[in-house]
Amino acid sequence: MELSIESLSKESFLSFLENDANIRVDGFLESAMAVAEEVHEGVKREDGVSSFLDTHIWPVAKNMTVHYRQHNKAITTVEIASAVLHDVLEDNDRILNLYETRSYGFDAYLRYQFGNRVLNVLHSLRTPALDSYERKTSKKDMEQERFHDYCALLANADYDLKCIKLFDRVNNMKFIAYTASTNKKPVVYMKIKRYLLEAEDFYLAYTILEPRMPELYKQLRGLYEQLRSYYLEETLSLPQAQ
């Protein structure tokens, strides 16, 4: 599988929507893009160089739109806005600051701006905090229980949410696979291990659950094999116990 970093500027994304996808970019979508920029501006990915907006947010939204068009499914700026905003509820300092600076709360702001449908998608895509799980077991057991709950939610998700999640995962796996050969930071191989386990436990099967998405299965399977190869190479290069 030939790998490259998919990069897309905001201007190219807008051009794609208007000229290729025949989507009228309305004020609703423009507002969603502005919020995404406010949250993610300047954020870099695992290589410390690539823009999170240009290599993740805009590409995920574009690829979901392409999928809808190729399968003759109706798509509006509501679905595209959900894709553009899919990571704005992740826990980081900038988002926590948004909660503090808006006296009525970031959730209330998102509901007011984009409605309950978009907000529900965003909350469904967000991995629950470990704090919501009983601390009677180990952290590993808590993380496993959380993942199982998250998978159960995704398995019953609507089509748009399923699309966003799978294109999000394909993008993340592809980026890590591309950077793994040159970036030896521990965080890269920690993510590879996590992506391998989660693909084995859920995401590969998720693509063949109804509604099936065979092209995404093919992409995920190829990326899984590539990441597995990188991980095995790294593991075998470690000093062996005598």
Residues 9-48: tens digit of each pLDDT: 999 999 999 999 999 999 999 999 999 999 999 999 988 8
Cβ partners under 8 Å of residue 169, min gap 6: 195, 203, 220
Whether 133 maps to a domain, the answer reads no
The answer on pLDDT for 146 being more than 60 is yes
Count Cα neighbours of 227 within 13 Å in the Cβ-side half-sphere: 26
CATH number for the domain that contains residue 35: 1.10.3210.10
Give pTM, 2 decimals: 0.91
How many distinct structural domains can be found in the chain?
1
For residue 134, what pLDDT band results from cuts at 50, 70 and 90?
confident
Per-residue pLDDT, 103: 46
Average pLDDT over residues 68-95: 89
- Give the helix ranges, DSSP H, for 41-182: 52, 58-70, 77-84, 93-101, 106-125, 139-155, 159-180
Asked if residue 242 has pLDDT above 50, the reply is no
Domain hosting 227: range is: 10-125+157-237
Residue 192: its H or E element: helix 186-198
Residue 130 lies in a domain: no
For residue 240, is pLDDT > 50?
A: no
Residue 209's pLDDT band (boundaries 50, 70, 90)? very high
In the chain, the percentage of residues whose pLDDT exceeds 70 is 88
In a domain, 148, yes or no: no
Measuring CA to CA, which residue among 194, 198, 123, 192 is closest to residue 164? 123
Is residue 214 a contact partner of residue 207, using CB atoms and an 8 Å limit?
Answer: yes
Asked, for residue 2, whether it belongs to a domain, the answer is: no
Burial class (CB in 10 A: 0-12, 13-18, 19+), 138: exposed
Residue 135 forms part of a structural domain? no
Mean pLDDT across the chain, nearest whole number?
89
Give pLDDT, residue 137.
76
Q: Looking at the domain assignment, is residue 1 inside a domain?
A: no
CA 19 to each of CA 26, 79, 170: distance values in angstroms, whole numbers, following the listed order: 14, 18, 25
Could you tell me if residue 137 is inside a domain? no
Instruction: Say if 227 falls within a structural domain.
Output: yes
Report pLDDT for 99: 52
96-100, 152-156, 176-180, 235-239: which has the minimum mean pLDDT?
96-100
Lowest-confidence segment of 9-13, 41-45, 72-76, 208-212 by average pLDDT: 41-45
